[in-house]
């Protein structure tokens, strides 16, 4: 790895480096829109589906039950009946709670539906490696990615513990071709025919420069691992991390502490008591003392479960999508993130984080070291499972 702290994020040298390092092109002339919580996310996605004229491709890790799940299934089925090409893939583990009736409805309407890695005796060696990607592409013109799952937990505006906080992104521009390629990566493995990856919109759709990074599960360094490590090591001023699940490896913990030692201000926002993975939270707690002692800010969200995955660096670079700050994302799962080099866009994301911090609790070192012994015991247990979390 080159001396990354000499490659400032704003330079062409860094862009060239990161293109080669994560094997993904940086594309100009895109427009990316931030969608906050279900009240903004789901209407935008459903509107795109209902207005489609050519094709729909949906890949998701979570598709559960409830009203919003039914709305999506009905919209997809209606388009398939109208002769639109509709391809839907769900992770067989993450979406195991879906109502079978919804799958039957879609298939009978003509939707080409496939599971990603269903449990079979000849695929047991891949059972622990899931697709955590959330991708929707409509008419090869507009795409969506981020953290949202198709379930009622994501509806609303994070107003209470039953309605989760999340951020999703709508993309238009040449980067659509890379989103389709990421979809195809899982779709073809599941037996589907690769979809056309060309972008059918105007190349002058916007002025944002973006990079789509698709990461595959691997025993060594994945593209997700490389992307995040390079951003941390290249930071000169600030790193802001919002993540649903924070259970860093020792290597990432060391990299964050090293960045802080050079004067980089680091703020981490993750889940507090409202989490659906308590053991992951406890595994992350194992590293709080080291990080707090180094001067890194850690905040835990108090309002509901926060499912957002956003990293901003130096007020210039943002990486958003499905990647959490844990080994399940960095090593075990297939993921997809969108990186944007746009200071105005980063400002909007940092303002969102500031709002989330206002309803969060900041961890304080002298109080943290006095936490109860039973909490420390659970952290030890969690740390034993951390490589699988």
307 is catalytic: yes
Residue 356 bears catalytic tag: no
Is 79 one of the annotated active-site residues of the chain? Answer: no
User: Of 15, 79, 91, 134, which one is the catalytic site residue?
Assistant: 134
Among 277, 307, 327, 342, the one annotated catalytic: 307
Could you say which of 79, 226, 299, 309 is catalytic? Answer: 309
- Distance, CA of 197 to CA of 365 (rounded, Å): 50
- Is residue 185 among the annotated active site residues? no
Q: Which of 314, 327, 334, 356 is catalytic?
A: 314
| Residue of 91, 139, 327, 334 marked catalytic | 139
Whether 367 is a known active-site residue: answer no
361 is catalytic: no
Instruction: Match 């399940």 to its residue by tokens.
Output: 328
Write down the catalytic residue from 15, 79, 91, 132: 132
Q: Which residues are catalytic?
A: 132, 134, 139, 307, 309, 314
């Amino acid at each position: 790895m080159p001396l990354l702290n000499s490659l400032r994020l704003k330079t062409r040298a860094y862009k060239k480096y990161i293109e080669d390092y994560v094997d993904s092109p940086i594309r100009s002339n895109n427009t990316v829109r931030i969608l906050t919580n279900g009240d903004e996310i789901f209407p935008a996605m459903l509107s795109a589906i209902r207005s489609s004229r050519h094709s729909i491709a949906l890949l998701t890790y979570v598709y559960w039950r409830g009203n919003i799940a039914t709305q999506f299934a009905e919209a997809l089925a209606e388009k398939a009946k109208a002769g639109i090409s509709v391809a839907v893939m769900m992770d067989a583990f993450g979406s195991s709670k879906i109502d079978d009736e919804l799958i039957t409805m879609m298939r009978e309407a003509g939707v080409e539906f496939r599971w990603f890695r269903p449990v079979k005796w000849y695929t047991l060696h891949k059972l622990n490696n899931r697709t955590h990607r959330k991708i929707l592409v409509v008419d090869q013109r507009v795409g969506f990615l981020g953290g949202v799952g198709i379930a009622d937990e994501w509806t609303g505006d994070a107003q209470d513990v039953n309605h989760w906080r999340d951020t999703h992104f709508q993309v238009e521009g040449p980067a659509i071709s890379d989103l389709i390629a990421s979809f195809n990566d899982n779709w073809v493995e599941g037996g589907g025919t690769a979809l056309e990856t060309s972008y059918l919109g105007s190349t002058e759709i916007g002025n944002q420069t973006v990079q789509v990074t698709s990461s595959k599960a691997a025993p060594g360094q994945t593209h997700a691992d490389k992307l995040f490590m390079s951003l941390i090591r290249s930071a000169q001023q600030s790193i802001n991390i919002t993540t649903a699940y924070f259970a860093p490896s020792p290597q990432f913990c060391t990299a964050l502490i090293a960045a802080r030692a050079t004067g980089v201000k680091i703020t981490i926002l993750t889940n507090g008591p409202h989490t659906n993975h308590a053991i992951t939270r406890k595994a992350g707690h194992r590293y709080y003392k080291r990080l707090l002692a180094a001067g890194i800010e850690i905040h835990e969200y108090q309002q509901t479960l926060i499912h957002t995955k956003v990293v901003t660096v130096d007020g210039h670079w943002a990486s958003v999508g499905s990647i959490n700050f844990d080994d399940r994302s960095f090593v075990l799962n297939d993921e997809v993130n969108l990186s944007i080099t746009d200071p105005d866009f980063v400002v909007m994301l940092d303002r969102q984080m500031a709002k989330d911090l206002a309803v969060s609790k900041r961890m304080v070192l002298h109080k943290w070291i006095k936490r109860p012994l039973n909490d420390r015991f659970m952290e030890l247990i969690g740390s034993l499972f951390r490589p699988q979390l």
